[in-house]
Amino acid sequence: MRLSHQRGFTLIELLLVIVIIGVLAAFALPKYADTKQRGQRGAGISDLHTLLIAQERFYSETGRYGGLADTAALRARLSPGNGPLAITVSGVPAGSTGYSATVTIPGAESCGVFAGGAARPAGMAADTPASTPVCW
């Protein structure tokens, strides 16, 4: 009777492969998280840019900027995963001189924009020009 020798991987070889995969994952996961966060910032800025255009259209139709109650008329839709939209209008009557808006994105960050005579959203850099969506 002939004895057959089974070939396979040794325990040392399997452990070595697991260590190599662990090292690669240690480098890849932070890069993935950073890329994902940049994408979410981009989505937040895109949402605010869309809102900016909708606000200007709304202003040309009604003579005032829309508040949070006017989001249906503004047709402002946020990207999936982005948090609540906050719109503050300024002037008397409300919305006659400007607005500011913020949206919360995952990762405990906010994005905002302001236009006209409205104050900058809290947390926005003081040198940010009007009608420029930014994240912080």
Amino acid identity of 57?
R
Summarize pLDDT for 121-135 with one digit per residue, the tens: 999 999 999 999 999
Contact of 101 with 121, CB cutoff 8 Å:
yes
Confidence of residue 28 (pLDDT cuts 50, 70, 90): very high
Whether omega before 93 lies within 30 degrees of 0, making that bond cis, reads: yes
Helix (H) or strand (E) holding 18: helix 11-62
- Percent with pLDDT over 90 in the chain: 83
